[in-house]
Amino acid sequence: MTARPTDARRAAVLGSPIAHSLSPVLHRAAYGALGLSEWSYDRFEVDEEALPGFLAELGPEWAGLSLTMPLKRAVIPLVDEITDTAASVEAVNTVVFKEDGRRVGDNTDIPGMVAALRERGIEEVESAAVLGAGATASSALAALARVCTGEVVAYVRSQARAAEMRQWGERLDIEVRTEDWADAEQALRAPLVIATTPAGATDALAASVPERPATLFDVLYDPWPTDLAARWSAYGGAVVSGLDLLVHQAVLQVEQMTGRSPAPLDAMRTAGEHALAAR
């Protein structure tokens, strides 16, 4: 049977660089499991300068977009509205095109982090530590605002970053104390540690993992495991990976873009694992 034009829907991930994004693998796996044979999901190299023109050329067949760096803030003035979740961290990683033509920006990284933690039985912690203070750290604080009942200690490399993290804490209504990165090994004793740093940044901390570590959420997924995650697992601690985050935030994107729920979490994770193993 020939599909009607309205059956063929498009979605994609945009960013720069974008070649190594796993989003196409995850979303296409979801479409396959949901029987959405007419849906397609691609990747496009788009920077901040090119973003307005790219959006202007999209037709009615488009259902949504995933956004990675450096577009998460650049897209905000280009959509019709953003959700409270996206506004809380001034970052949009998802744009959904509504039937009435509105383009709505959302942030699925934050609920994705919460869902990844809950999958491992982490519903609530009394305190937490955050390693790093980049863009992902603000999303981590927003997620912790939903699961942490006490203080969050952020370990950072500069006074400017420390001030930013305290400001995010005030905005998100969560108590944030900052400490120097030189003392980051102290973070490893927290009930929950969220590492938001680039590859290699936490390698030196692996030797300081305590004998009975609690839970580590390392947002990296390639290469995996990180030295810190490997040592953490070896000592019996619970580890949540960047792939867990990527899959859970993609699940929410698929549900919003397709209107189908629940999205096939297991199929998406398996596809991601296979893609990473092939690398």
Q: Do 24 and 41 touch, CB atoms closer than 8 A? A: yes
**Which residues does the annotation mark as catalytic?**
72
Gyration radius of the chain's alpha carbons: 19
Other residues' Cβ atoms within 10 Å of the Cβ of residue 206: 16
According to DSSP, the residues that pair with 95 across neighbouring strands are 65, 105
* Whole-number Å distance between alpha carbons of 148 and 132: 18
> Using an 8 Å Cβ cutoff, are 223 and 229 in contact?
no
Helix (H, G, I), strand (E, B) or coil at 65: strand
